[in-house]
Chain A
């Protein structure tokens, strides 16, 4: 239907998504197969639904493979990966920081400042972006390795990973305050600090919800 050039190549993204869906289906199938199951006297047991969803994901995965081959290569606008590194890195830093008990206010201040930086991206920030990308990669290791071992709680982080985590945190901070945007970084951090302080007080004192505590929060 399309031009000949479109027909020859394939849409890689759709193919990759198809493979991921099939992998997901297989994960579900294994989980159901490993369950003892079969205790339901009548009707269906707890594994049936898993198999149905797995079958659905598998069929959709095949559908993606088919669509990826048939549609041909698709043009898509690029995504600025350094912005993703800043914001994803900021959330990852918050997770790591909370795990290390740095507390709500410092963690959220960093989240605010780094997210804001993700939206300020331009060419003058090449060095600071590189630092953020490194930090994001570091956090990917710290959070990703326990995930692959399928022991999601990161409380039992191996010492080596903790060191990588601290280094990544330092890289992110360095990137944030790296010239020529030292002042902007400080300003963002100041606003983030005030905001997180207000939010912390409102949530813990007014609404009596509990938020993670660190050394700073215990003083309040």
Chain B
């Protein structure tokens, strides 16, 4: 019952006129930026973070929630109308959605994506509101060694377990961890890797890294490979509305997608790719018209879109209750919290219930706004897609540079942006995942702090790290997750030789 009281109070915060305005601006800006090709929710958040600098914490986080959900909606519009998913989680949407658009069913594809996202987002947010207090109650019992073990698990799953190559994923993670070392060590006051540059004392900004890797890196990569893959915008033809058959074929995939997306998103495993792929495969098996898959099956849009949005709400669970970001988007959200000196975790629920529950309530509000706003405004978003590519990317670069300058007006910050941009180009070219680096940068210093706290409590005895059953279990899972891909590869090889 407490949950409902808290949530009710959250709604009182979220429904204040000014807060509604913030949510509306957030939703609008989020969709506006998210709809631009090649821009996923993570980059949308990183680019728009400076806009929220001058607001109060609650208002800014509410705007942030709107930007987050808006960016997700915008991303699926792009995937359907031009085949350029801004993130791997909307790849599946692009697969079937773009086919639907090509065969003149772009309207229903957009509609099922939007309504499915609404259904999934709403259900998953209810799940978040309902389960978060339990996780908070559990998290209060966590000692520093348990947090450390949890972070190690997150490192492993984000970088090694679910990527194509554990070697490349771990490399990305460790470069992120190395960047996280830069700056003043909080516990001893000594500076690390700063080389006497005052701007580096505060460390590397998560937003600078994310904008550099995602925005500048993407622009360089797309420009450099423009001759290989030209893009075409698919006009929205025919009716926007879904037919009775479309509805009948959509509602079950929405629910199944939600059921897959939310729990998997809530695990410290990271990534919405897995639930979207799973959902696609399940829908393909269950569909009455499996022959349509690959040629624009509406189930193949409805399910994965729902899974994607539900898992986005799911990643908020470890973020809000444990302070643990498990995706690039969550890492940037965490940076948004930190800019106000807020540290998500069980304490935040106790100290600032207005803020936390206001944020959760505004997720509902943002969802409603999106479904009301987006379908009628789809014509406007489509026109945005028609901006010529040179101006589009030039504009993205302007916003990237401007955000960096507004956050920290120094040439050093722009230098880092350029260096990270070139790094992002190389990572795309040689197929290194980007999210582990962003997560490593923000989570590395937190893991170090917990480790050192644990060891100073135990008077330096490392056994303390595995004495707590929670920590021991988590570390064992982390080890298994690290070794599993290699074992499976070995197994494959074994099988291959057997055949």
Residues of A within 8 A of B (CB): 13-14, 17, 21, 24, 27-28, 31-32, 35-37, 39-46, 48-50, 53, 56-57, 60, 63-64, 67, 76-77, 79-81, 83-84, 86-88, 90-92, 94-95, 98-99, 104, 108, 111-113, 115-121, 143, 147, 150-155, 188, 191-192, 195-196, 199, 203, 207-212
Cα–Cα, bound, A212→B404 (Å): 11
- Beyond A92-B418, A94-B414, A119-B226, whether A46 also contacts B188 by CB under 8 A is yes
Report the number of A-B residue pairs with Cβ-Cβ less than 8 Å. 215
- How far is it, in angstroms, between the C-alpha of A49 and the C-alpha of B454 when the chains are bound? 14
Instruction: Decide: B54 and A83 in contact? CB cutoff 8 A.
Output: no
Interface residues of B in 208-258 (CB under 8 A from A): 216, 219-228
Q: Say yes or no: A80 contacts B226, CB within 8 Å.
A: yes
Restricting to B403-449, which residues have a CB under 8 Å from any CB of A? Answer: 405-406, 409, 411-412, 414-415, 417-418, 421-422, 425, 429-430, 444, 448
A42 and B223 contact, Cβ closer than 8 Å, known pairs A95-B414, A119-B389: no
Q: Is the Cβ of B425 less than 8 Å from the Cβ of A84?
A: yes
> Which residue of B181, B221, B401, B452 contacts A43 across the interface (Cβ within 8 Å)?
B452
The interface residues of chain A lying within 8 Å CB-to-CB of B399 are 199
The reply to whether A111 and B197 contact each other, CB–CB distance below 8 Å, is: no
Chain B residues packing against A (C-beta within 8 Å) = 50-51, 53-54, 167, 170-171, 174-175, 177-178, 181, 185, 187-188, 190, 192-193, 195-200, 216, 219-228, 389-391, 393-395, 397-399, 401-402, 405-406, 409, 411-412, 414-415, 417-418, 421-422, 425, 429-430, 444, 448, 451-452, 454-456, 458-460
Known: A67-B167, A84-B223, A111-B397. A13 touches B192 (CB 8 A): no
Partner of B406, one of A80, A121, A196, A203: A203
A108 engages B402 (CB within 8 Å): yes
10 additional contacts, CB 8 Å, given A79-B429, A116-B393, A152-B200?
A40-B452, A42-B455, A49-B181, A49-B448, A91-B414, A111-B398, A112-B397, A155-B411, A209-B53, A210-B406
Minimal Cβ-Cβ distance residue in B for A67: B167
Assess whether B391 is in contact with A87, with CB atoms less than 8 Å apart. no
Q: Which residue of B lies closest to A117 (CB)?
A: B390
Whether A209 pairs with B50 at a CB distance below 8 angstroms is yes
CB of A20, distance to nearest CB on chain B (Å): 10
CA distance A158 to B39 in the complex (A): 39
Pair A44/B54 contact, Cβ less than 8 Å: no
Main DSSP-derived SS at the A contact region: helix
CB pair B226–A121 under 8 Å, yes or no, is yes
Interface of B is mostly: helix
Given A81-B224, A111-B397, A209–B54 Cβ distance below 8 Å?
yes
Cβ contact within 8 Å between A77 and B228: yes
Give the docked Cα–Cα distance between A115 and B188 (Å).
Answer: 44
The distance in angstroms between the C-alpha atoms of A28 and B181, with both chains bound, is 9
Name the residue on A nearest B426 (C-beta): A17
Decide: A91 near B226, CB < 8 A? Known: A64-B171, A152-B200: no
Q: A57-B174, A95-B414, A143-B415 are in contact. Are A207 and B54 (CB under 8 A)?
A: yes
Smallest CB gap from A13: residue in B:
B430
The answer to whether B412 touches A79 (Cβ under 8 A) is no
Q: A40-B187, A50-B192, A153-B411 are in contact. Are A192 and B394 (CB under 8 A)?
A: yes
Contacts of B451 in A (CB 8 A): 44, 49
Known A53-B174, A121-B223, A188-B394; contact A40-B456, beta-carbon cutoff 8 A = yes
Q: A95, A153, A191: which contacts B199 (Cβ < 8 A)?
A: A153
Note all chain A residues with C-beta closer than 8 A to B421.
Answer: 88, 91
CA distance A90 to B414 in the complex (A): 12
Residues in chain B near residue A211, CB distance under 8 A: 402, 405-406, 409
List, in ascending order, chain B residues with CB within 8 A of A24's CB.
175, 178
**Residues of chain A lying within 8 A (CB to CB) of residue B190:** 35-37, 46
Residues of A within 8 A of B200 (CB): 152
- B residues less than 8 Å from A208 (CB atoms): 54
> How distant is the Cα of A37 from the Cα of B189 in the complex, in angstroms?
11
CB-based closest 3 A-B pairs: A43-B455, A83-B223, A116-B390
Contact A152 B393 (CB under 8 A): no
Bound-complex Cα distance A14 to B432 (A): 11
Report the nearest B residue to A50, measured CB to CB: B181
A117 to B397, CA, bound (A): 13
